[in-house]
Amino acid sequence: MMKILFVVLLISFSVFSQQKPPETVKYVDLNKYIGLWYEITKIPNSFQDHCVKGTTAKYVLGEDGEIEVINSCFDEDGEIDIAEGVARVVDKKSNAKLEVSFVSFFGWRPFWGDYWVIGLDEDYQWAIVGTPNRKYGWILSRTSQLDKETMSEIFQILKEQGYNPNDFEMSRH
C-alpha cells in the first residue's frame, strides 16, 4: 500500500511540476510588427554561436500572408552573415504564434521552429519572443539599446512567463 501511495505521489508531483507553455500576447498587428528589430538579449543557442555583434531581424509581410525573415549579424572576422527564411502565422486569431523556417529544399520547408510573441510594447518598440519549451528566447527592440527601466519591466514579464532572466545574455551592437 505504501509503495502505491508513493508512486501516486511521485506521478502527481511530476505532472504538476511541469510548466505549462508561456502565454502569448492577446494580439499582434503584423503591419506594426514588420520592419527592423535589434536583438537586445537572447538565450544562447548553437545557430547563433558565430554572431558576435550587430544582430538584427527584419520582417517583410508578403502578399500571401507569409513573412520574409532576414536575420543578420557580424562574425568575429567582421563579416556579415545573413540568414533568410520565412515565417507563417499559426494562430490567425492572435497572430502571436508563428513558425519560422530557414531550411528550404527546392521550395519545400521540412523544418519549422516556434516563434511566440509573449511580450509586446503597446507601441511596438520592443518584443519578447519565446518558445513553448522555453529553450529559446529573444528580446527585440526597434533601437539597439533599451533603458534600465524597460529592461526591468521585460525581465519581470520573463519571470512571469516561467523564464529565468539569468539565462539571457546581452547582445553587442
pLDDT in tens, 118-129: 999 999 999 999
pLDDT in tens, 47-97: 999 999 999 999 999 988 899 999 999 999 999 999 999 999 999 999 999
Check if the beta carbon of residue 61 is closer than 8 Å to that of residue 89: no
CATH 2.40.128.20 fits 23-170, yes or no: yes
Identify residue 80 by its one-letter amino acid code. I
Alpha helix ranges (H) inside 120-172: 148-160
DSSP state of 167: G
| 111 bridge partner residues | none
Give the global pTM: 0.88
Measure CA 135 to chain center.
10
Give the three cell numbers for residue 114.
516556434
Structural domain boundaries of the chain?
23-170
Check if the beta carbon of residue 25 is closer than 8 Å to that of residue 96: yes
pLDDT at position 96: 98
Instruction: Return d(Cα 146, Cα 113) in angstroms, integer.
Output: 27
